[in-house]
Structure 1
Amino acid sequence: MRRARCPRASAGPGAAAVLATLTAVLTTALPTPAVAADSVQLPVVRGSLAPGEPCVGASGRKAEAEPWSAGALGLGRAWTLEEGHGVTVAVVDTGVGAEVPALAGRVRALGGAGEDCVGHGSFAAGLIAGARIDGVGPAGVAPRAAILAVRGTDERGTPTPGRVAAGIRAAADEGAEVVYVGQALATGRKELTEAVAYAASRDALVVAPVAPDALAEDRDEPGGLAPAAPWYWPASAPGVVAVTDFGPDGGRPANAPGVRGADLAAPGDAVVGNGPEGAGHYLGSGASLAAAQVAGAAALVRAQHPGMTAAEAARQLTGAAYPASPPRLDPYAAMTAVLTGDPGTVPEAARARMPAPEPEGPRHRALLVAGICGGLVLLLAGAAAVLPRGRARGWRPAGGA
Structure 2
Amino acid sequence: MPSRLDADDACTGASGERATAVPWEQQSLQLPRAWEFSGGAGVTVAVVDTGVSTEAPALKGRVTAVGDAGQDCVGHGSFVAGLIAAATTDGVRFAGVAQQARIVAVRGTDARGVATAGSVTAGIRAAVGAGAKVIEVSPALVRGSEELTAAVKDAVAKDAVVVAAAVPDPPARGGSSSSGEAPEPLAYWPASQDGVLSVLDVDSSGGRPDNALVPREADLAAPGDGVVGPGPRGGGHYIGSGASFAAGFVAGAAALVRAAHPGLTAAEVAGRLVSTAYPDAVPRVDPYAAVTSVGPGVEGREVRAAAGEGAVVRLPGDPGAGPTRRAVLVAVGGGAGLLVVVWVAVVVPRGRARGWRAS
- TM class, shorter-chain normalised? 0.7 to 0.9
Return the match for 1:207 from 152, 160, 163.
163
User: CA contact under 8 A between 1:56 and 1:119: conserved in structure 2?
Assistant: yes
Distance 2:304 2:187 in 1: 24
Return the match for 1:253 from 202, 209, 214.
209
Indicate the residue corresponding to 2:229 in structure 1: 273
Return the match for 1:95 from 51, 57, 77.
51
Structure 2 CA distance for partners of 1:318 and 1:341, relative to 1, 3 Å: farther
Distance 1:168 1:351 in 2: 39
Alignment of 1:82 with 2:38, yes or no, is yes
Indicate the residue corresponding to 1:145 in structure 2: 101
Indicate the residue corresponding to 1:374 in structure 2: none
Alignment of 1:118 with 2:74, yes or no, is yes
Structure 2 CA distance for partners of 1:77 and 1:57, relative to 1, 3 Å: same
Greater share of strand: 2
User: CA contact under 8 A between 1:246 and 1:267: conserved in structure 2?
Assistant: yes
Distance 2:192 2:145 in 1: 8
1:66 is paired with a residue whose SS is: coil
Distance 1:92 1:312 in 2: 22
2:250 is paired with a residue whose SS is: helix
AA matched with 1:140: G
Alignment of 1:317 with 2:280, yes or no, is no
The TM-score with structure 1 as length reference comes to 0.72
User: CA contact under 8 A between 1:177 and 1:205: conserved in structure 2?
Assistant: yes
Return the match for 1:72 from 28, 31, 39.
28
Structure 2 CA distance for partners of 1:127 and 1:348, relative to 1, 3 Å: closer
Q: CA deviation at 1:192?
A: 2.1
Q: CA RMSD in A?
A: 2.6
Indicate the residue corresponding to 1:154 in structure 2: 110
Structure 2 CA distance for partners of 1:125 and 1:224, relative to 1, 3 Å: farther
2:307 is paired with a residue whose SS is: helix
Indicate the residue corresponding to 2:323 in structure 1: none
Return the match for 1:290 from 246, 251, 258.
246
Indicate the residue corresponding to 2:193 in structure 1: 237
AA matched with 2:257: V
Indicate the residue corresponding to 1:349 in structure 2: 307
User: CA contact under 8 A between 1:275 and 1:281: conserved in structure 2?
Assistant: yes
Distance 1:184 1:228 in 2: 16
Q: Deviations over 1:169-207 (max 9, x none)?
A: 111121101000011001114322211110011111110
Distance 2:65 2:189 in 1: 24
User: CA contact under 8 A between 1:216 and 1:225: conserved in structure 2?
Assistant: no
The TM-score with structure 2 as length reference comes to 0.80
Indicate the residue corresponding to 1:307 in structure 2: 263
Structure 2 CA distance for partners of 1:228 and 1:112, relative to 1, 3 Å: farther
Structure 2 CA distance for partners of 1:341 and 1:266, relative to 1, 3 Å: farther
Structure 1: stretches of 5+ with no match in the other structure: 1-44, 353-401
AA matched with 2:209: P
AA matched with 2:275: G
AA matched with 2:30: G
AA matched with 1:191: E
AA matched with 1:254: D
AA matched with 1:286: G
Return the match for 1:191 from 134, 138, 147.
147
Return the match for 1:59 from 12, 15, 20.
15
User: CA contact under 8 A between 1:207 and 1:243: conserved in structure 2?
Assistant: yes
Indicate the residue corresponding to 2:136 in structure 1: 180
Q: CA deviation at 1:338?
A: 2.4
User: CA contact under 8 A between 1:213 and 1:256: conserved in structure 2?
Assistant: no
Distance 2:137 2:289 in 1: 24
Indicate the residue corresponding to 2:84 in structure 1: 128
User: CA contact under 8 A between 1:215 and 1:257: conserved in structure 2?
Assistant: no
Distance 1:120 1:300 in 2: 22
Q: CA deviation at 1:341?
A: 11
Aligned ranges 1:25-64 → 2 under 5 Å: 45-64=1-20
Runs of 4+ in 1 over 6 A off after TM superposition: 221-226
User: CA contact under 8 A between 2:20 and 2:91: conserved in structure 1?
Assistant: no
Q: CA deviation at 1:224?
A: 9.7
User: CA contact under 8 A between 2:183 and 2:214: conserved in structure 1?
Assistant: no
Distance 1:347 1:67 in 2: 33
User: CA contact under 8 A between 2:224 and 2:243: conserved in structure 1?
Assistant: yes
Aligned ranges 1:324-339 → 2 under 5 Å: 324-339=280-295
Greater share of helix: 1
Structure 2: stretches of 5+ with no match in the other structure: 311-359
User: CA contact under 8 A between 1:184 and 1:235: conserved in structure 2?
Assistant: yes
Distance 1:351 1:202 in 2: 35
Indicate the residue corresponding to 1:21 in structure 2: none
User: CA contact under 8 A between 2:275 and 2:307: conserved in structure 1?
Assistant: no
Distance 1:134 1:265 in 2: 31
